A and B are shown apart, each in its own frame.
Chain A
């Protein structure tokens, strides 16, 4: 892992651990809007997967907003 990304990833892991400690920002009975399909990230998995594949094939980066790291296809 490259140093700047290592530092950012370390910070992310620390935040993840804090977030899992049990603090609740939105109660269960307040989640009606958040439960809507359009409020899910990547709510259409096939579409998101397709976009990821095309972008990863024509750009040097990978894994911008969803999984995909460069394996599985000769187009990388």
Chain B
């Protein structure tokens, strides 16, 4: 039923715009062969009262190492196939605690020493319109997910107006391992997300993008291994996290991009709200600087995020409640992040064409004393 509504909206949108589409000569660079790799090192530090940031009842230190491989192969003038593999390994203080002491487990990782994601997709692109479809499977120790996605894009008014629609349906399975190591019956989580985008050229050197993301979730939406303290520090005990089994989530965003000589900058704002009364505001600024005839690129960014807590968020309760969570990601906080990515164009050993090489770092400081940073290394061939 849920899927029917979402897909009905997508097809309505497609029907509205398909009348304006025109057949075009099929030459599109978006289908060209590409091989890309990205390595990520993610470190999360817990600073509250020495080592208790975020959730006051948990150690939330964590380290994640991730690799992403992407390969796209052009089949002909209008079609390409694409595959992507992602692999993670996780090391977390909370996981070590849980294993050694059967204490609570952080929402950052859980009993989750690794994760992989496989994605296969098909892309069809004409000059003025295109569509894509992909299948995605991911596996963690306590979480399995399969998803299908459909995308559509169209250009109008001599490409001054570009519209896009993307529908993704997840069918997830949650292994119910509780904070104390006990187990309950496994449960499911179903998610449907529809993203609509509109990019509009404003002048020969500026454009804007407006996006709307709507998500509907059903099923088990809490984190199985999260817990809430009931009672005081001495006499209390831990109870499981409980959250409603439905969640509607909406985000509206606007972005503006302006060319400045050979460089450009981008500003963005997003407003998020869901039916758990969680509200989020995001402000973002990026600058794209070019040197050495465009062979060196620098991209500094600043991002501010403010979140109002969900109505179900508590630090502790005197008695168990119908809905309760101490997940710091659902609490109130401000977040500041800064980052810098450097990209270099250069020769590729043993291959004919140049590549892009990049290295980037981002640092995120949350007002509830949870801090994290991540380092990325990227390679894209050909340039």
A1-24 Cβ-contact flags toward B at 8 Å (1 or 0): 110110011001001110110111
Does the CB pair B275–A25 fall under 8 Å? no
With A and B bound together, what is the CA distance between A41 and B271 in angstroms? 18
Residue of A nearest to B17 (CB): A20
Q: Is B270 an interface residue (CB 8 A)?
A: yes
Chain A residues near B280 (CB-CB < 8 A):
59-61, 64
With A and B bound together, what is the CA distance between A62 and B248 in angstroms? 11
With A and B bound together, what is the CA distance between A23 and B160 in angstroms? 9
A46-62 Cβ-contact flags toward B at 8 Å (1 or 0): 11001100110111111
The interface size of chain B toward A, counting residues with CB under 8 Å, comes to: 106
Does the CB pair A34–B112 fall under 8 Å? no
Does the CB pair B268–A65 fall under 8 Å? yes
Instruction: Determine which residue in B110, B117, B213 has the highest number of CB atoms from chain A within 10 A of its CB, and name it.
Output: B213
Considering only residues 56-87 of chain B, those with a C-beta below 8 Å from chain A are 66, 68, 70
User: Which bucket holds chain A's interface residue count?
Assistant: 35 or more
With A and B bound together, what is the CA distance between A31 and B205 in angstroms? 8
Judged by DSSP, the binding face of B is: strand
With contacts A26-B204, A74-B140 taken as known, whether A68 is within 8 angstroms of B273 at the C-beta atoms is no
Instruction: Determine which residue in B108, B147, B172, B268 has the highest number of CB atoms from chain A within 10 A of its CB, and name it.
Output: B172
With A and B bound together, what is the CA distance between A18 and B164 in angstroms? 15
With contacts A54-B374, A69-B215 taken as known, whether A25 is within 8 angstroms of B272 at the C-beta atoms is no
Q: Is B255 an interface residue (CB 8 A)?
A: yes
Chain A residues near B36 (CB-CB < 8 A):
46
With A and B bound together, what is the CA distance between A59 and B306 in angstroms? 9
Does the CB pair B213–A63 fall under 8 Å? yes
Indicate which residue in B70, B193, B201 contacts A67 across the interface (CB closer than 8 Å). B193
Does the CB pair A58–B196 fall under 8 Å? no
With A and B bound together, what is the CA distance between A39 and B200 in angstroms? 12
Chain B residues near A50 (CB-CB < 8 A):
38, 40, 66, 68, 376
Q: Is B367 an interface residue (CB 8 A)?
A: no
Does the CB pair A2–B250 fall under 8 Å? yes
Minimum CB–CB distance from A40 to chain B (whole Å) comes to: 9
- Interface residue stretch chosen among B151-159, B315-323, B347-355: B151-159
Indicate which residue in B157, B215, B362 contacts A63 across the interface (CB closer than 8 Å). B215
Chain A residues near B196 (CB-CB < 8 A):
12, 16
Chain A residues near B264 (CB-CB < 8 A):
36, 38-39
Chain B residues with CB under 8 Å of chain A are 16-17, 20, 36, 38, 40, 42, 66, 68, 70, 107-110, 112, 115, 117, 136, 138, 140, 142-143, 145, 147, 156-161, 163, 166, 168, 170, 172, 174, 189-193, 195-196, 198-205, 207, 209-215, 217, 223, 247-253, 255, 257, 259, 263-264, 266, 268, 270-275, 278, 280, 282, 284, 288, 290, 297, 305, 307, 309-310, 329-330, 335, 341, 358, 360, 362, 364, 366, 370, 372, 374, 376, 378
Chain A residues with CB under 8 Å of chain B are 1-2, 4-5, 8-9, 12, 15-17, 19-20, 22-28, 30-34, 36, 38-39, 41, 44, 46-47, 50-51, 54-55, 57-76
